[in-house]
Structure 1
Amino acid sequence: MVNRFILNEVSYFGPGARKELPAVIASRGWKKALVVTDKGLMKFGVAKMVLDVLDGADIAYEVFDDVKPNPTVSNVTAGIEACKNAEADFIIAIGGGSSMDTAKGIGVVVTNPEFADIVSLEGVAPTKNKCLPIVALPTTAGTAAETTINYVIIDEKRQQKMVCVDPNDIPAVAIVDAELMYSLPKGLTAATGMDAMTHAIEGLITKAAWEMSDMFELKAIEMIHKYLPIAVNDPTNPEGRNGMAVAQYIAGMAFSNVGLGVDHGMAHPMSALHDVPHGVACAILLPTVMRFNMEVSVPKYVQIAKVVGVYKDGMTDQEAAEAACNAIEELSKLVGIPQHLSELGITEADIPALAEQAFTDVCTPGNPREVSKEDIIALYHKIL
């Protein structure tokens, strides 16, 4: 079997790393940026921390800040027009997964105009050209979109999330600066952090996992378990914020190359149909999905138990696996993740439509245990 691993051309890490931007841009000869971000990051001064660096180096740019929390086809289409009108030759994406996913959609279509309808990008699209160069600066520690070949766009007509997988969309440069995350609210810190944990665990047990991806995912699980409570409870603590910033990137390096599973398959329609934040959707499902997958994942769960410190001498493998599930559930509760779908406004009547989309989601086939639509319905019911 041949395993493929795709990463950014270069990445920078550490508080203040955004100051590398002028040298990065100059070294590549880029002339003008389209800055893709959202109005909240503009309002609260987070985007300004990056724009000040650009201004200080006299780098030309225009801002597109109409990114939605769950970006849509029309959202990306508007961004494409903004990019063309700006005559930008590269993109700077500032934000969480929504900004970066929007930037990827823009960048891919600008260099592959035959996909201008956006919906044709769903799944593994046969694009021919690398997207317009993207410099990605995450402001959340969760999606790892700055290092993945995936992006998610909502098709408003079908009310469905399109998962797009394309090696041509990976940002050329990732700048992971924890200082951009210091003002992230407690709830969003928790949700995005548990999204990163979901990436790491699903990436560890997915069908395509192998030795290299396992190495990254286990380290990410260890770091997230250690640093997420610090980042949630002490938001300006550099150790917690930088630890999470690096951990979510490590998780992304691996899952981008090996895929995910039914947790993400079930989370996507929760966002598309009920506007549930993606991180919350993943997190609320995670302990239940872990237990569903236990019968085929015990050896991997033993490894999780060891890296999060709940493995005890004399434990059987089954006991260790159960301890791993319990540890992740306790972490979810500790950082304040809701525990029931009803808390999110989802009712029993909503489950059939959710299950229909989850079963056909591009992430679901990667699940280590075969899953039927009836299994998915039962999983939703368990956390209703």
Structure 2
Amino acid sequence: MRIGPGAAGQLGEVLRSLGLARPLIVTDPYLAGNGTARQLVADLAAQAIPATVYDRTRPDPTTTSVQGAVTVLAEGDFDCVVGLGGGSPMDTAKAVALLGTTGRPMRDYAAPTVTDTPALPLIAVPTTAGSGSECTRYTIITDDSGDTDEKMLCAGLAFLPTAALVDPLLTLPMPARLTADTGIDALTHAIEAYVSRRANPFTDGLALTALTAIARSLRTAYAHPDDLRARATMMLASTQAGMAFSNASVALVHGMSRPVGAHFHVAHGLSNAMLLPTVTAYSVPAATSRYADCARAMRLVGEAGSDEAAADALVAELRALNTDLAVPGPARHGIDPEQWERMTPTMARQALASGSPANNPRVPDQAAIEELYRSLMA
């Protein structure tokens, strides 16, 4: 990993250190249009490393959209993939690096399958402070081959980048909405990693450190987008939270968030933000002391006082954060309540099938998840 302002400029050096020289850069139209991808290509060309850019990734990548990049990879002479962007380009790049070596459909790699087989080397260059995808062994691809639109969680070392260049300068152009959504995504990763039934001492340290940093810097990065210190703090915290949840897993918020994104085309960080206060309040009784630790790491309360009061302060802060960062509920976001109700049983089934709710301190059944979905629309 290379971390800090200017880290992205070390891509050529990192490629050479890995014995790589023919990268396919997988990114999105925005980063191709604003010059970020072009700058990477120019930097590599100056070091005699030719690079090709695939810039047709889409938000919430699907099996169909991924296949377009796989085709480009198969038609060229590439020895690695560079994922440039936020969670969606990174998820696409991870899928491409694997499918380009196996030729099998993405559905074969959906949870509960764990894929540790080698893929093409992947170098991650994140441009948002949220997904943590640069250091996780997960990718999420929507199956659009049928009528379910299921967001498939795919896991294993095959999806873990070989190297990551974590450069906060790349986050400076992020608009306020993206800053908020990706920041709460990182916050959700840290909280869920800490309260997960699979948490361990290694992930606990990363999660609590990330929580302290996010609580200190997210509102500043949102209100003052040119504040490089806040941006750098959020970028590092996102990476730390990504390492935490990659080793401890996420829980109920993410399990419920993926179907919302798939069926209503809500950005992943935003759907997490919609769910986080409500799901946390539901989960607190089963792990009050762990949620209290989160509140103390975020400096919401002091060391004195009861765990119950600290956990209550955490829930109150999550609600206040959504207000301060203008996070809409499903109805305010424009989702039709009747369609939401019709899809609620399907979303609950898909949430359970992902496996993430089983990591939650309070493990819900389908009826409980349906009720949580309904409460968001109330």
Q: Which residue of 2 aligns with 1:294?
A: 284
Q: Which residue of 2 aligns with 1:123?
A: 111
Q: Which residue of 1 aligns with 2:56?
A: 66
Tell me which amino acid in the other structure corresponds to 2:347.
L
Q: Which residue of 2 aligns with 1:310?
A: 300
The reply on whether 1:357 has 2:347 as its aligned counterpart is no
Give the deviation of 1:328 after TM superposition: 2.1
Distance 1:165 1:288, change over 3 A: same
| Aligned counterpart for 1:320 among listed residues 287, 296, 310 | 310
* 2:44–2:50 CA contact under 8 A, matched in 1: yes
Give the deviation of 1:301 after TM superposition: 1.6
Q: Distance in 1 between matches of 2:93 and 2:303?
A: 48
Tell me which amino acid in the other structure corresponds to 2:110.
E
The reply on whether 1:369 has 2:359 as its aligned counterpart is no
Give the deviation of 1:56 after TM superposition: 2.2
Q: Distance in 1 between matches of 2:48 and 2:223?
A: 38
Give the deviation of 1:208 after TM superposition: 0.4
Q: Which residue of 1 aligns with 2:130?
A: 142
Q: Which residue of 2 aligns with 1:177?
A: 167
* 2:176–2:222 CA contact under 8 A, matched in 1: yes
Tell me which amino acid in the other structure corresponds to 2:126.
P
Question: Alpha carbon RMSD of aligned pairs, Å?
Answer: 1.5
The reply on whether 1:343 has 2:333 as its aligned counterpart is yes
Tell me which amino acid in the other structure corresponds to 2:201.
E
The reply on whether 1:44 has 2:30 as its aligned counterpart is no
CA offsets 1:260-308 (integer angstroms, 9 cap, x no match): 1111111000111111100000011001111111111111122112122
CA offsets 1:203-226 (integer angstroms, 9 cap, x no match): 110110011111110111111111
Q: Distance in 1 between matches of 2:217 and 2:27?
A: 26
Q: Which residue of 1 aligns with 2:14?
A: 24
Distance 1:232 1:121, change over 3 A: same
Q: TM-score, normalised by structure 1?
A: 0.93
Q: Distance in 1 between matches of 2:71 and 2:96?
A: 9
The reply on whether 1:133 has 2:127 as its aligned counterpart is no
Give the deviation of 1:51 after TM superposition: 2.3
Q: Distance in 1 between matches of 2:112 and 2:354?
A: 13
Q: Distance in 1 between matches of 2:302 and 2:241?
A: 26
| Aligned counterpart for 2:191 among listed residues 185, 191, 201 | 201
Q: Distance in 2 between matches of 1:107 and 1:206?
A: 29
Give the deviation of 1:320 after TM superposition: 1.2
Q: Which residue of 1 aligns with 2:93?
A: 103
Q: Which residue of 1 aligns with 2:143?
A: 155
| Aligned counterpart for 2:262 among listed residues 254, 272, 276 | 272
Q: Distance in 1 between matches of 2:91 and 2:302?
A: 41
Q: Percent identity?
A: 32
Q: Distance in 1 between matches of 2:116 and 2:254?
A: 28
Q: Distance in 2 between matches of 1:169 and 1:340?
A: 31
Distance 1:361 1:125, change over 3 A: closer
Q: Distance in 2 between matches of 1:21 and 1:126?
A: 29
CA offsets 1:89-145 (integer angstroms, 9 cap, x no match): 0111100111111111111122233xx211111014354631100110001111111
Q: Which residue of 1 aligns with 2:158?
A: 168
Q: Which residue of 2 aligns with 1:245?
A: 235
**Worse-matched range after superposition: 289-298 or 103-112:** 103-112
Give the deviation of 1:346 after TM superposition: 4.3
The secondary structure found in structure 2 opposite 1:163 is: strand
Q: Distance in 1 between matches of 2:248 and 2:123?
A: 23
**Worse-matched range after superposition: 43-52 or 275-284:** 43-52
- Paired residue total: 372
Tell me which amino acid in the other structure corresponds to 2:88.
S
Give 5+ residue unaligned stretches, structure 1. Answer: 1-10
* 4+ aligned runs moved over 6 Å, structure 1: none
* 2:37–2:53 CA contact under 8 A, matched in 1: no
| Aligned counterpart for 1:75 among listed residues 60, 65, 68 | 65
* 1:147–1:249 CA contact under 8 A, matched in 2: yes
The secondary structure found in structure 2 opposite 1:31 is: coil
* 1:225–1:331 CA contact under 8 A, matched in 2: no
Q: TM-score, normalised by structure 2?
A: 0.95
Q: Distance in 2 between matches of 1:375 and 1:109?
A: 37
The secondary structure found in structure 1 opposite 2:333 is: helix
Q: Distance in 1 between matches of 2:110 and 2:348?
A: 19
Distance 1:126 1:250, change over 3 A: closer
Q: Distance in 2 between matches of 1:313 and 1:100?
A: 39
Give the deviation of 1:342 after TM superposition: 4.8
Give 5+ residue unaligned stretches, structure 2. Answer: none
Q: Distance in 2 between matches of 1:14 and 1:314?
A: 36
Q: Distance in 2 between matches of 1:73 and 1:201?
A: 30
* 1:62–1:86 CA contact under 8 A, matched in 2: no
**Worse-matched range after superposition: 223-232 or 42-51:** 42-51
Give the deviation of 1:340 after TM superposition: 4.4
Q: Which residue of 2 aligns with 1:222?
A: 212
**Worse-matched range after superposition: 349-358 or 201-210:** 349-358
**Worse-matched range after superposition: 90-99 or 120-129:** 120-129
Q: Distance in 2 between matches of 1:190 and 1:167?
A: 29
Tell me which amino acid in the other structure corresponds to 1:327.
E
